[in-house]
Amino acid sequence: MIIDNHPFQVNQHGHLEIGGVDSIDLVNKYGTPLYVYDVHIIRENCRAFIETFKELNVPAKVAYASKAFSTVAMLQVMKQEGMCLDVVSEGELFTALQADFPTENIHLHGNNKSMNELRMAIDHNIGCIVVDNFREIELVAELLQEQDKQMDVLMRVTPGIESKTHQYIMTGNEDSKFGFNLTNGQAEQAFQQLFQHSHIQFKGLHCHIGSQIFETDRFLIATEVLFQELKKWKDTYQFIPEVLNLGGGYGIRYTSQDAPIPYAVYVKELVNEVKKQVEALAIPMPEIWLEPGRAIAGNAGITLYTVGAIKQIPGIRNYIAVDGGMTDNLRPALYQAKYEAILANKANQAPDSEVSVAGKCCESGDMLIWDLPLPQVHSNDILAVFSTGAYGYSMANHYNRIAKPAIVFIEDGEDKLVLKRETYQDITRNDLSYE
């Protein structure tokens, strides 16, 4: 039996099966809460982007936005799939180095890169720095001059587009902390500092309009806006872009309300738009770079929890509490994000009641799912929440000093622990005594 809306199955025991492995066996082996990834799905997601560019015969780079989910094992899979990598901090870059990721395929982002971050990137000869503000141009130039090195640089711009998504995950609007503003001339001012700089190879523009977006129209408008600026720069400075990085943001299915577009469609429409603009401008086709994060990891991940306390408030609501919550999945508390879930040990039973799923943190807002249809729930049932592969572990935190879950990868019917469950020793490792 296939599970509605999600790429997983129910086995002959009536248990949720992930990549051919019984989820209840995983619970018995590794405990809960547990993040589980079907690696086959991760690979398929990468290939949907890469293969479409190949089919279209368009020069391209697909960089996984590692903020979505960064561990050594995940970045090794990205390396195997021929993906490039977008990192936004020393920690993400360090993880990439631990995974032995080819540094020339790493791009550094961030709206407040420190001198140390930039130095680390330059020391490791990463492929590209995406500059975000004027101070950063100064820092990059200073470091490159000091070391007499060259570096490929893109400029992040805000195209002034409000994407249809939660306000906290919009990034392309003018009133944004990210990037240079196109309309008030700041982008052009930055361009003048970058273009023909002795140590900077200025390659082109980057924009990212937001995250969890389902329509292609905003991406196409953003592309058009970038080309309006590029036309000015061609006419005035004879600048021809070699790279156009159109960011990430492709929406995935969390619930049946979400209707994601196949990734190939985004790629095809973006390529068509760039071709149209390139012809109008009479310039060679630049390399197109994309940066999907959620689209690569999101639907491949499931979180398994054990149900504990059950609280019934007659006439009001029934709560079930699980052994995790906002510490392993901050998204519902932060963005009111919606998820779907089933009972992994009763996966073939039809829902006949509604419960709300509470986390275990000392916080009323620690609710994972409101009004979830489920079969009768009992303590010790296993709840499986779908589509937690992106921005789950990566935004996990230690509120209430709760330890972070383990992560298991499944591929070819085999399970492999790729991140150990944290211990309380891990949590208190940096505590120093005051006695």
Ligand X SMILES: Cc1ncc(COP(=O)(O)O)c(C=O)c1O
Ligand Y SMILES: N[C@@H](CCCC[NH3+])C(=O)O
Contacting positions for ligand X (CB under 6 A): 65, 68, 86, 109, 171, 208, 211, 247-250, 291-295, 390
CB of 88 to ligand X, least distance (A): 7
Residue 291 assigned as binding residue: yes
Q: Which two tokens stand for residue 127?
A: 């492929």
Q: Which is nearer to ligand Y, 53 or 250 (CB)?
A: 250
211 binds ligand Y (CB under 6 A): yes
Sign for the CA dihedral angle at 405, 411, 412, 417 comes to: negative
Q: Which is nearer to ligand Y, 184 or 336 (CB)?
A: 336
CB of 322 to ligand Y, least distance (A): 19
Tell me the DSSP string of 263-274: HHHHHHHHHHHH
218 binds, among ligand Y, ligand X, none (CB under 5 to 8 A by kind): none
Q: Which is nearer to ligand Y, 151 or 302 (CB)?
A: 302
CB of 295 to ligand X, least distance (A): 5
Among 107, 197, 331, 346, binds ligand Y (CB under 6 A): 331
Among 61, 67, 360, 404, binds ligand Y (CB under 6 A): 67
339 binds ligand Y (CB under 6 A): no
Residue 389 assigned as binding residue: no
Residue 142 assigned as binding residue: no
CB closest to ligand Y, residue no = 391
290 binds ligand Y (CB under 6 A): no
Q: 117, 89 in Cβ contact below 8 A?
A: yes
- How many chain residues touch ligand Y (CB under 6 A)? 8
Tokens 């499931």 locate to: 302
Q: Which is nearer to ligand X, 30 or 250 (CB)?
A: 250
331 binds, among ligand X, ligand Y, none (CB under 5 to 8 A by kind): ligand Y
SS3 409: strand
CB of 133 to ligand Y, least distance (A): 16
Residue 293 assigned as binding residue: yes
Q: 366, 326 in Cβ contact below 8 A?
A: yes
CB of 79 to ligand X, least distance (A): 18
SS3 6: coil
**Rounded-to-integer distance, Cα 23 and Cα 15, Å:** 7
362 flagged as catalytic: yes
Q: Count of CB atoms within 10 A of residue 408's CB? A: 22
Tell me whether strands 200-206 and 151-158 are parallel, antiparallel or unpaired: parallel
**Rounded-to-integer distance, Cα 434 and Cα 2, Å:** 56
CB of 390 to ligand X, least distance (A): 6
Q: 26, 408 in Cβ contact below 8 A?
A: yes
143 binds ligand Y (CB under 6 A): no
Among 129, 151, 161, 169, binds ligand Y (CB under 6 A): 169
Residue 425 half-sphere exposure toward CB, CA atoms < 13 A: 2
Tell me whether strands 341-343 and 128-131 are parallel, antiparallel or unpaired: unpaired
Closest CA relative to residue 152, chosen from 211, 119, 193, 194: 194
Residue 136 assigned as binding residue: no
Q: Which is nearer to ligand Y, 37 or 391 (CB)?
A: 391
Residue 249 assigned as binding residue: yes
Sign for the CA dihedral angle at 392, 398, 402, 405 comes to: positive
Residue 335 assigned as binding residue: yes
**Rounded-to-integer distance, Cα 309 and Cα 330, Å:** 21
Edge-to-edge strand order for the sheet containing 21-22?
9-10, 16-18, 21-22
33 preceded by a cis bond (ω within 30 of 0): yes
- At residue 430, φ and ψ (nearest 5 deg) are -95, 0
DSSP state of 172: S
Residues forming contacts to ligand Y in the complex (CB under 6 A) are 67, 169, 171, 211-212, 331, 391, 395
Binding site for pyridoxal 5'-phosphate: what residues are annotated? 249, 291-294, 391
Residues annotated as part of the active site:
362
Binding-site annotation: residue ranges for substrate: 294, 331, 335, 363, 391
Annotated binding-site members: 249, 291-294, 331, 335, 363, 391
